[in-house]
Amino acid sequence: MPELVTPQERVFSAPWEAQAFAMTLSLADRGLFTWTEWAAALAAAISRAPEDDYYCQWLTTLEGLITAKGIATSEELGRYQRAWDNAARRTLHGAPILLNQIDLPR
C-alpha cells in the first residue's frame, strides 16, 4: 500500500512532538490557558530563538505556561521527565512505556 503522506508533508517528526501538541490542546480545552495566551507565549519563544527547533520551543512554552499558572512546579516537571526517561531506558524497543512507582523516587 502506498504511503499517504510523504516525509516532507509530515507534521510531526517524532511521537513526542504529537504528544506535546495533544497535551497543549487538552490543557487549553480544560481552560487552563487561552489560545491567545498560548499564541503570545509561543511567538515570544520563537522570536527569542528563531533558529531553535519548533517543537522544542513548543514544549518549553508549554512547560513555562504550566509553571506560570501554578499547575505544576518546575521541580515536579523535572521529576516526571526523569521518570519517563528511566521508564524508557528499561523498555524494549517497540513496547509501550509504562511508569512504575520505582520511576518516581521522592
Residue 1: per-residue pLDDT: 47
CA distance 21 to 46: 16
Q: pLDDT (tens digit, 0 to 9) for every residue of the chain, 106 residues total?
A: 455 556 566 789 888 899 999 999 999 999 999 999 999 999 999 999 999 999 999 999 999 999 999 999 999 999 999 999 999 999 999 999 998 888 887 7
Residue 106: per-residue pLDDT: 73
Q: How far is CA 37 from CA 24, 42, 68, in A?
A: 12, 9, 11
The residue ranges of every structural domain in the chain are 14-91+99-103
Q: Provide the 10 A C-beta neighbour count for residue 66.
A: 19
